Amino acid sequence: IARHLEAVERGDITRLMIFMPPRHGKSHLVSLHFPSEDLAKGFQRFVKDMSGKGFAGKGPGTAVGIGGAGKLCGKGFDLCIIDDPDGSDVSEQSKWAYRDSISARLKPDGAIVLVASRRPSDLASHLLQASNEGWQVLSFPAMNGGVPLDSQWYGVEKYRQIRMSIGEDNWQSLYQQVA
């Protein structure tokens, strides 16, 4: 994941989807640590520019944080992280928000990272089928060839319990990343 996020930062990847089961650290890594490091570097460049030349009219990058019902009107950005956009199936509002708000306000050399646990008919499925944006996909199923993704916290027995509790369809989408 880190190599792919570094490629996003360099501009080598402009569309990245990362799929992992719930409670496996995807939001922590992608939505918290990744932009924090990038923004810290940008802030250091901004401060250096200000101290050397006076006020720099524009910072080195733009970050905008909004909730699910938030608005992006009047804001542009270099990096958009979409973190678990759909609670269930993709809605018309999610499609509209991506098409008319996010992609319209992304700067020309900007990047989008979508991180989620899969669900049937989710925004990721819609984007992979409907767009020609060249998405790169990293998918981490809970169990791969009998080996657990996270043996420290979950392990085979805990995954078996979860599978029995949530049912096969939810297990396949949320934990195995099959939508």
Residue 17 above 90 pLDDT? yes
8 A C-beta contact, residue 17 and residue 136:
yes
In angstroms, the CA 155 to CA 32 distance is: 26
Q: Which of 152 and 59 is assigned the larger pLDDT?
A: 152
| Confidence (pLDDT) at 53 | 35
Q: Write out the two tokens for 165.
A: 């509790």
Alpha-carbon radius of gyration of the chain: 18
Give the pairing type, strands 143-144 and 147-148: antiparallel
| Confidence (pLDDT) at 124 | 81
Q: How many CB atoms lie within 10 A of CB 95?
A: 14
What percentage of the chain's residues is helix, strand, coil (to nearest 5)? 45, 15, 40
Residue 137 above 90 pLDDT? yes
8 A C-beta contact, residue 123 and residue 95:
yes
pLDDT single digits (tens) 29-70: 777 667 655 554 544 443 333 333 333 333 455 555 555 555
Q: Which of 69 and 142 is assigned the larger pLDDT?
A: 142
| Confidence (pLDDT) at 62 | 53
Residue 140 above 80 pLDDT? yes
In angstroms, the CA 110 to CA 15 distance is: 9
Q: Write out the two tokens for 152.
A: 């420290």
Cβ burial of 39 (10 Å; 0-12, 13-18, 19+) is middle
pLDDT single digits (tens) 82-127: 877 765 555 666 666 777 677 777 888 888 888 888 887 778 887 8
pLDDT single digits (tens) 69-82: 555 566 677 788 88
CA 148 to each of CA 26, 49, 157: distance values in angstroms, whole numbers, following the listed order = 16, 48, 10
Q: Write out the two tokens for 55.
A: 């006020």
pLDDT single digits (tens) 161-174: 999 999 999 899 88
